[in-house]
Amino acid sequence: MSGRPRLVLRDDPGRSVPLDPRVPLSIGRDPASGLCLSQGEGVSRRHALVRVSRTRPDQWLLCDLGSANGTFLEGARLRDCRPLSDGDEIRLGRNGPVLLFRAGGGSVPPADRSGPPAAAKLRAGVIDFEGHALPIDRIRSAYVRSRRRHPQAFSWWLLFCLGGLLLLPFPWLFWPLQLGALAGWIVLGSRWEHLLEVTLQDGLAYRHRFDSLATALAHRNGIRKAMGQAQASAPVPGRRP
């Protein structure tokens, strides 16, 4: 992908707004907004803001401006500003307009080629996902959510060592063990995992975990591309082929 980062209206791909790192983009019903959605269902006057991170000039952030119906990034409601990745889906309100973030050239790292085999394989009309054949026209959404890994074993070991410090007559024997457990908990607890969730129209969901965010996003974007192609080729009711 080349060009500047931009927001694209999912239901009207011809309408897009380029992003300028120097000027935050406001979104809402206000005519003065950088992206005015005056007819959008559930859109507040000042709904959301897209801006560059103050600490990372190459990272774009999405912020909710206290909207009445909320701003949803990848299906999760925003509580504060969140970073954007190429292909992320932004929904204004639960049933409002949907925007897609396009990162432009060089903003997204390439997918990890050294990881496990692809979780999703595309073939005519069907996605093979984790051993399940999912018809593309039955897929409602594909989201990636990131979360920290919390090694519970190290947490319990830390509590055990703390108890040893308080109860045993020679607590100094536990100091090296406690420091080692604390270091392991910090190192492993700082790792992230990225969950690709594919939900069907009937609400049934399938999930796959990735260590690499780039790989998870590549799979998600491939599924969404197939969904868009299937929707574009679907016959329109009442129209003769």
pLDDT tens digits, 87-126: 999 999 988 999 999 997 544 344 444 344 455 666 678 8
Domain total in the chain: 3
pLDDT confidence bin for 40, thresholds 50/70/90? confident
Least-confidence region, from 56-60, 96-100, 178-182, 226-230: 178-182
Q: What is the percent of the chain with per-residue pLDDT over 90, rounded to a whole number? A: 44
Q: Which CA distances in Å does 71 have to 28, 82, 102, 104, 209?
A: 11, 11, 18, 23, 25
Tell me, yes or no, whether 239 lies in a domain.
no
Report whether pLDDT(81) > 90.
Answer: yes
Same domain, 44 and 76: yes
Domain extent at residue 224: 120-148+192-233
CB 182 within 8 A of CB 158: yes
pTM, two decimals, is 0.70
CATH assignment at residue 48: 2.60.200.20
Note the Cα 204 to chain centre separation in Å.
Answer: 19
pLDDT confidence bin for 73, thresholds 50/70/90? very high
Distance CA 221, CA 111 (A): 12
CB 196 within 8 A of CB 115: no
Report whether pLDDT(152) > 80.
Answer: no
Same domain, 197 and 225: yes
Q: Which CA distances in Å does 89 have to 30, 73, 84, 99?
A: 22, 6, 9, 6
